[in-house]
Amino acid sequence: MCLLSLPTHRKPNEMKKDDRYKAILNWFITNMNEAESELNFSNNFELLVAVMLSAQCTDKRVNMVTPALFKAYPDAKTMSAATVDDVKRYISSISYPNSKAKHLVAMAQKLVTDFDGEVPSEIEALTSLPGVGRKTANVMEAVAFGKAAMPVDTHVFRVSNRLGLVKTTTPLATEKELTKHIPEDILSKAHHWLLLHGRYVCTSRAPKCDKCGLKAYCKEMEGKGE
């Protein structure tokens, strides 16, 4: 992946927004080029289930429960025939197992009745599925179907605001702003860059600023002598 061209070097706090984007994206291209989803899956149905389970839950925990879940329900047809209690037994250690089990069964039933058991590729169709919001739909667009998309979770929201890429108060506003400024060919990868940076370095509590290669761009570090 080629670096983005930048004008004569300016200090981060003197950069125009487009140059700030380019500098930060160049850092990710250089230091985190191979970033991808950490969820385990082998097809689009498994990915959709895993992403639905990952809401307010760690990917590590999701990956612990999905092998048995996928063995019992390898496709939409088998899951659509299950009861909520059947599914709940497999995901009891996941956050909000009651609501997620209900959503999984209802999602599978709608896939069978409306989409011949196949996960649709259009965002409007994806968000028509029970339990599938815009973030989950965007993950499917980016990861399953290779489309340019910017799913915004708490990590992407936090990191993009801290780095001064956006100044937003909602996920949708963040998505629109990032999509406006990040080149389409790296938009989906940029989602993984921001997400993983937030998950492992720029954490919500006790961020690892001493290990952050982007702290020069951090709005929260301005005026602290860093």
pTM above 0.75, yes or no: yes
Q: Is 153 a catalytic residue?
A: yes
Domains of the chain, residue spans: 13-36+149-217, 44-144
pLDDT digits (tens, 9 = 90+) for 173-195: 999 999 999 999 999 999 999 99
Greater model confidence, 4 or 204:
204
pLDDT digits (tens, 9 = 90+) for 51-105: 999 999 999 999 999 999 999 999 999 999 999 999 999 999 999 999 999 999 9
| 22 class by beta-carbon count within 10 Å (0-12 exposed, 13-18 middle, 19+ buried) | buried
Question: 141-150: buried (b, 16+ CB within 10 Å) or exposed (e) per residue?
Answer: bbbbbebbbb
Q: Is 19 a catalytic residue?
A: no
**CATH architecture observed for domain 44-144:** Orthogonal Bundle (1.10)
Annotated catalytic residue within 22, 100, 110, 153: 153
What are the start-end ranges of the H helices in the chain?
17-31, 44-53, 59-72, 76-80, 84-90, 97-115, 123-126, 134-139, 154-162, 171-181, 187-200
Q: Which residues contact 190 (CB under 8 A, 6 or more apart)?
A: 25, 28, 150, 178, 182
Annotated catalytic residue within 22, 135, 189, 215: 135
Residue 225 gets the label, from left (phi > 0), alpha (psi -120 to 50) or beta, of left
Of 3.30.420.40, 3.10.180.10, 1.10.1670.10, 1.20.140.10, which CATH number belongs to 13-36+149-217? 1.10.1670.10
